[in-house]
């Protein structure tokens, strides 16, 4: 049996792994405004409009307006801009950003994200962490989204590595399973469950050198 190659590349999802989505804040907004649990995420990310936006088609402003209208329809009344209120609570996961910095240059690092067309601008200009990654693969730029196998292979190619030499980290189990299917090792990380990404990577032999 052939031994698996040593991990040389660390590929990370953005939302949920590098960016704290603050699911606790979304649940609190839903509670305060009498909405079903999960309504904020469902109206924003579980629609055909989002499926088009994350593959680079459609208008971002129209998507956000539709999400707000869908939320008001669920409530049966006018609502404040709750998606914006939720977004305002979100922030970088500083521990994981520090970990990425510590892993370089021993490991090649990449972001693989399902995101809208504004992502690259926010990453470079708003967050200032673009230089920590050897590659950034965004679904809106590529026209395909996780869990499509091709986008995982593309992320590995952008690092100049075979999939088998990469570990992928995501907060959504189907995306993790898809990475395993293309030959990567993979981790399901959940900040809301107080997971320790440094320890999880160390179990695979990936540690700052």
The residue extents of the domains of the chain are 9-20+91-202, 23-89
Q: Does the pLDDT of residue 167 top 70, yes or no?
A: yes
Give the residue carrying structure tokens 């956000």. 64
Q: At residue 153, what are phi and psi to the nearest 5 degrees?
A: -60, -40
Q: Domain 9-20+91-202 adopts which CATH fold?
A: Rossmann fold (3.40.50)
Between CA 108 and CA 49 the distance in angstroms is 34
pLDDT for the residue 209:
86
1-12 pLDDT, tens digit per residue, is 567 889 999 999
70-82 pLDDT, tens digit per residue, is 999 999 999 999 9
Please answer whether residues 186 and 4 qualify as being in contact, where contact means their C-beta atoms are separated by less than 8 angstroms: no
Find the helix packing angle between 149-159 and 173-181, rounded to 10°.
70
Please answer whether residues 75 and 33 qualify as being in contact, where contact means their C-beta atoms are separated by less than 8 angstroms: yes
* H/E run at residue 92: strand 91-92
Give the residue carrying structure tokens 């590929």. 11
Q: Does the pLDDT of residue 104 top 60, yes or no?
A: yes
Counting every residue written for the chain, the total comes to: 209
Cα dihedral: 121, 127, 133, 134 (round 10)? 30
């Amino acid at each position: 049996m052939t031994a698996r190659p040593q991990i040389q590349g660390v590929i990370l999802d953005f939302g949920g792994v590098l960016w704290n989505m603050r699911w606790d804040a979304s649940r609190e907004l839903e509670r305060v405004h009498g909405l079903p649990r999960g309504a904020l995420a469902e109206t924003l990310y579980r629609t055909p409009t989002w499926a088009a936006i994350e593959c680079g088609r459609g208008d971002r402003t129209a998507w956000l307006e539709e999400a707000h209208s869908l939320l008001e329809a669920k409530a049966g009344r006018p609502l404040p801009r709750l998606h914006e209120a939720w977004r305002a609570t979100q922030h970088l996961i500083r521990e994981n950003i520090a970990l990425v910095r510590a892993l370089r240059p021993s490991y090649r690092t990449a972001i693989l994200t399902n995101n809208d067309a504004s992502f690259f601008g926010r990453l470079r200009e708003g967050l200032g962490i673009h230089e920590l990654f050897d590659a950034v693969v965004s679904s809106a730029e590529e026209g395909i989204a996780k869990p499509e196998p091709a986008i995982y292979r593309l992320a590995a190619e952008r690092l100049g590595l075979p999939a088998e030499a990469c570990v992928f980290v995501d907060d959504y189990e189907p995306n993790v399973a898809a990475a395993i299917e293309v030959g990567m090792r993979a981790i399901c990380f959940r900040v809301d469950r107080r997971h320790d990404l440094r320890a999880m990577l160390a179990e695979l032999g990936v540690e700052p050198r």
